[in-house]
Structure 1
Amino acid sequence: MATVDAAAGGRRERRKAQTRAEIRAAAQRLFAERGFDVVTIADIATAADVAVQTVFNHFDSKEALFFDGRTPWVEGVASAVTTRPDGTGPLAALRNYLEDDLHQLLEQETQPENRSYVEVLARSTSLQERERTLVEEAGSRVAAALATALSSSEQPDGASVELLSRLAGDLFLVAGRVLVLANRRRVLGTEHGAAARGPEHASTAATLSMLEDGVRRLARQLDVRID
């Protein structure tokens, strides 16, 4: 009986995952074709051949549908700190993850096949607000991860650790957003077709390196051990 129940449960989970993927694909196709703001949940339900309530069973909003599967960095940036390899400090792990992620994201959003994604974002204030919220969420996650990594009996002042962690999280995430937004503005200012790499690609490593150096200097002033 247990085996039968497990098999049935597995089938249910696969069906749920398939339905979620179909809803997401239908929604993102409609957003690309019509723009985000004019598409309704009812439109998405019809395109995915499901009930409106089924859409809400999987996604709490249109914004969640648009970004689903597209923002692994929200959790990934904190995970890079908490799962860093032995011998790598938390700040270096943060910088390394963001450098790799930003290079990939800037390259991805430069490609012609992703232009509609950038265009839809640029035309919707609600999506821009949601993206800012996601950046803030990622900053909070990484600040908590840094604070945990840096906290120890050797740290003289827990308040200084919290301050440094919060500053580092926000500085790195906001800098990344500035680079991404600059890249998007350049992409949208070009004709359709592959856009050449801009200064954002070349300056990513230098920007993050300077931020890391600045956080390390501040850590010394606050008497916080960063590694």
Structure 2
Amino acid sequence: MSELLDRRAQKKALTRAHVRAVAQELFAERGFDAVTIADVARAADVAVQTVFNHFSTKEELFFDGRTPWVTGPADAVRDRTPGMTAHTALRNYLVALVRGRFGALASVKSRTYLRTIEGSDALLAHERDLIHECERRLTEALHEVWASPDDRDGIVSQDPATAATLTAATWLGAARALIIGQRSRVTAGACPLEIAETLGQLAERFFDAAIATMPAFEEEAGAAVMPAVEWPASRAS
């Protein structure tokens, strides 16, 4: 029985990979909006329902296997080297992400992928959803670090939820501005490797400055204490 289940799982994985490869080739050739699920099924020689068995939407099919950055920041925080702070691990990951995303655009395939996204409102909207998911995951990872009594990362915060939310929003917002805000330069003909280096250096300076200028913490019992955020009381109407 176990061997049979293994064969079925392997067959399912192979079918999924085949459908994805065929679909992504069609998207690159024709553009995302011009390709239907029926086109994908026909080209992959499978039933339309088979496509939907593996991918709930056409957008999911397009991005499948292409977005390690959705979980990357959270993974960098959780899997950081012992003794490394969450801020440093996140800084290192985001700097590498900025350089890597533009360095990859030196290939024709990656530039085609970018042009396909930029040419579809549906893909741009789904990309924004993925960015929000990335932020949610990072917020959770940072909160785990700063709220745990056994792993506070050197910071004892009276409000770890707010600290995590603000850090995830501002740091990912900066990375998003560097990547999405600048990628049109590549489609306009700029050298992606030069952009990768320039923006990589800018990312280094930005995140290093962010760490250096973090709010001063009061030393208490050998650890830094972040003051709790005091929200203004609501006024009666």
TM-score (norm 1): 0.87
Tell me the amino acid that sits aligned with residue 151 of structure 1. A
Q: Distance in 1 between matches of 2:217 and 2:30?
A: 49
Q: Alignment partner of 2:13: what SS?
A: helix
Q: Does 1:68 align with 2:67?
A: no
How many angstroms does 1:134 deviate by?
A: 0.8
Find 1:134's aligned residue among 116, 130, 136. Answer: 130
- AA paired with 1:217? P
1:118 paired with 2:114, answer yes
String of CA shifts for 1:1-22, please: whole Å, max 9, x gaps.
xxxx121111111111111111
Given that residues 23 and 40 in structure 2 are in contact (C-alpha distance below 8 angstroms), is that contact kept between their aligned partners in structure 1? yes
Q: CA deviation at 1:218?
A: 6.7
Higher helix share: 1
- Tell me how far apart the structure 1 counterparts of residues 217 and 134 of structure 2 sit (CA, whole Å): 21
CA distance 1:117–1:218, shift in 2 (3 Å): farther
CA distance in 1, matches of 2:217, 2:123: 36
**CA distance in structure 2 between the partners assigned to 1:141 and 1:156 by the alignment:** 19
Structure 1 residue 174: deviation in Å? 1.7
Letter in 1 for 2:200: H
3-state secondary structure, aligned to 2:183: helix
Q: Report deviation, 1:72.
A: 0.6
Greater shift, 105-114 or 205-214, is seen at 205-214
* Structure 1 residue 217 corresponds to structure 2 residue 219: no
Aligned: 1:34 with 2:30: yes
Q: Distance in 2 between matches of 1:9 and 1:219?
A: 55
In structure 1, C-alpha distance between the alignment counterparts of 2:117 and 2:217, rounded to whole Å: 37
| Greater Rg by CA | 2
* Cα gap change, 1:219 to 1:63, in 2 (>3 Å): farther
Partners of 1:152 and 1:7 in 2: how far apart?
A: 42
Q: Unpaired runs of 5+ in structure 2?
A: 219-223, 228-237
- Give the Cα separation in 1 of the matches to 2:216 and 2:44: 52
Q: CA deviation at 1:175?
A: 1.4
TM superposition shift of 1:181: 1.7
Whether 2:44 is the aligned partner of 1:48: answer: yes
Change (3 A) 1:82 1:195: closer
Given that 1:45 and 1:52 are in contact with CA atoms closer than 8 Å, whether structure 2 keeps it comes out as yes
Superposed counterparts of 1:160-175, under 5 Å: 160-175=159-174
> How far apart in 1 are the matches of 2:137 and 2:72?
10
Give the whole-Å Cα distance in 2 for the aligned partners of 1:128 and 1:219.
40
- 1:126-145 C-alpha deviation (Å, 9 max, x unpaired): 11111111111111111111
Shift of 1:82: 1.3
Inter-CA distance 219–113: structure 2 relative to 1 (3 Å threshold): farther
Are the counterparts in 2 of residues 36 and 120 from structure 1 also a CA contact under 8 Å? yes
Q: State whether residues 110 and 197 of structure 1, in contact with CA within 8 Å, keep that contact through their aligned partners in structure 2.
A: no
Counterpart for residue 18 of structure 2: 22
Aligned length: 216
Cα gap change, 1:212 to 1:63, in 2 (>3 Å): farther
Answer yes or no: is the 8 Å Cα contact 1:182–1:200 preserved in 2: no
Instruction: Give, in angstroms, the shift of residue 212 of structure 1.
Output: 3.1
Q: CA separation in 2, counterparts of 1:31 and 1:98?
A: 28
Distance 1:110 1:201 in 2: 15
Verify: 1:147 aligned to 2:146, yes or no.
no
What is the match of residue 96 of structure 1? Answer: 92
The residue type paired with residue 91 of structure 2 is R
TM (normalized to structure 2)?
0.83
Higher strand share: 2
Identical amino acids, percent of aligned pairs:
38
Q: Secondary structure at the match of 2:96?
A: helix
Aligned-partner Cα distance in 2 for 1:136–1:156: 24
Q: State which of 4, 7, 11 in structure 2 corresponds to 1:11.
A: 7
